[in-house]
Amino acid sequence: MSWKEAAEPVLTRMPAVKRPTGHVPFRRKLGWTAGILVLYFFLTNVGIYGLGQNSDIFGQFRTILAGSQGSILQVGIGPIVTASIVLQLLGGADLLGLDTENNPRDQALYQGLQKLLVVVMTVLTALPMVFAGFLRPSPQIASQIGVSTSVLGWIMFAQIFVGGLLILYMDEVISKWGVGSGIGLFIIAGVSQRLIGGFIAWSGLGAGYVGFFPRWWGILTGQVEMDPILTSAGLRDLFLGPGELLALLTTLFIFGIVVYAESVRVEIPLSHARVKGARGRFPVKLIYASVLPMILVRALQANVQFLGRILNAQWGGMPAWLGNYSNPGGGGFAEPIGGLFYYLAPIYAPEDWMWWLGETTAAPWQIMIRVGIDLTFMLVGGAVFAVFWVETTGMGPHSTAKQIQNSGMQIPGFRQSPGVTEKVLERYIPQVTVIGGALVGLLAVMANMLGTIGQVTGTGLLLTVSITYKLYEEIAEEQMMEMHPMMREMFGD
């Protein structure tokens, strides 16, 4: 008996959101998308009952893993992304033996396996958060309801587990009934909230920081003190200190370069085999695999740092070569300051690598090694995961050639054959996928090194801009198909 036959009774019975049987009107899609977005914001403000002291174990990765610290969406999209990484690696090595393109049974098994992995990853993520000291139960609440702190810890774990399942099925509702993907929508929501706060938040809001525009109002009115601009200390205050001009320039640069990169493409001409004069183009964009594979790369780094903080909390006396932390043996949030986990940690802000600012105690050679590892990891990881993403989502040359053939289109001057079309596509798609994945990785590292407005990482901003651009294109496509029903028949209802 193969593993598919053994696992089929379990995987095919995993709860699932029913797929629409026909065309879903555009307005209804927008309604589902807006409703899930409102529900997401509501759940991020529902605190974990019984929570006392807490620290965000994800730290700087919170912007790309969505969710909210201290809420029932504590784990965010982390388990979904981690499960996707596992499936991408297993699928890329052809260990699953599933034909998700042509076999409906294998498609159902793949979706069930993905959900089962998400459930497992939610458990494996939530357990250390509660029982390793990162989310500590409140003794006062435990005494009020007459239970021990251990029992209250299990109650907190149950709330986080339910939140992980909710975000899983909210993502599925968006994918089947809404516009775009739930993962992308949640990242946009979280990053946009922080970005807007980074521009306009003022001290009266209790955000813990003052936004760019209120701070500059304070500078112009003399309420915020700065050194003379023509001195080295004044330039530092202007670009890295209260002025934050470097972060503003980086934010604008990322917006511009991503929009430009999304418009760079190689267009392959197409013509309809039976309808004379019907022509079109198949665009192979520079960022062909989108920036979603970058979530997988950063999530892999987040899991490595997650493991390091768990080991630090449970095994504070770990060998120096493995990791030194700012809070050794503590359950609170701690940053690696030496050892292997320090070199594997991404660069988060200018202070992490500009040693001349005096914000870091690491030696210049240590910082250079860390920057080199981060850059290599993002370039290679971005390219590799982009290739996996293209192959597993039906965007590769073979799958795309079949889609073109099924739509009745062909490349002018070539025989109408999937094999011939595939050979033409192989001239562009693999190379563009690798180049685009590496480019996104380079932009992510550069944005992190220079900093951005608000409590947003460069990777989070990069993802938000690109996902928003993709969402705009998808909305425009939905509107076009709504206005011209015959387009739905050509591309499949």
Angle between helices 245-263 and 458-483 (to 10 degrees): 40
- Residues 130, 153: contact at Cβ < 8 Å? yes
Of all helices (H) and strands (E), which one includes residue 121?
helix 104-131
- Residues 64, 187: contact at Cβ < 8 Å? yes
Element counts in the chain: helices (H) and strands (E): 19, 7
231 vs 240: CA distance, rounded Å? 14
pLDDT tens-place string over residues 357-385: 777 888 899 999 999 999 999 999 999 98
Written as six digits, the tokens of 28 are: 């209804």
pLDDT of residue 373: 95
414 vs 412: CA distance, rounded Å? 6
Q: Which residue has the higher pLDDT, 199 or 391?
A: 199
List all residues 6 or more positions away from 83 whose beta carbon is below 8 Å from its beta carbon.
Answer: 114, 117, 118, 120, 121
pLDDT of residue 431: 92
pLDDT tens-place string over residues 327-353: 765 555 678 888 899 999 998 888 888
pLDDT tens-place string over residues 439-451: 989 988 988 888 8
Torsion angle defined by CA atoms of residues 453, 457, 459 and 460, in that order, rounded to the nearest 10 degrees: -80
Q: How confident is the model at residue 474 (pLDDT cuts 50, 70, 90)?
A: confident
Q: Find the DSSP H helices in 24-74.
A: 26-43, 62-65
Among candidate residues 61, 57, 59, 56, the one with its CA nearest the CA of residue 297: 61
pLDDT tens-place string over residues 132-158: 778 889 999 999 999 999 999 999 999
Torsion angle defined by CA atoms of residues 169, 392, 67 and 207, in that order, rounded to the nearest 10 degrees: -140
pLDDT tens-place string over residues 223-268: 888 888 778 888 888 888 888 898 899 999 988 888 888 888 888 8
- Ordered by where they begin, the domains of the chain are 26-183 (1.10.3370.10), 244-465 (1.10.3370.10)
pLDDT of residue 492: 47
Average pLDDT, the chain: 84
Looking at the predicted structure, is the pLDDT value of residue 490 above 50?
A: no
- Residues 451, 350: contact at Cβ < 8 Å? yes
Q: How confident is the model at residue 491 (pLDDT cuts 50, 70, 90)?
A: very low
Among candidate residues 88, 129, 113, the one with its CA nearest the CA of residue 12: 113
| Cα-Cα-Cα-Cα dihedral sign, residues 218, 223, 226, 229 | positive
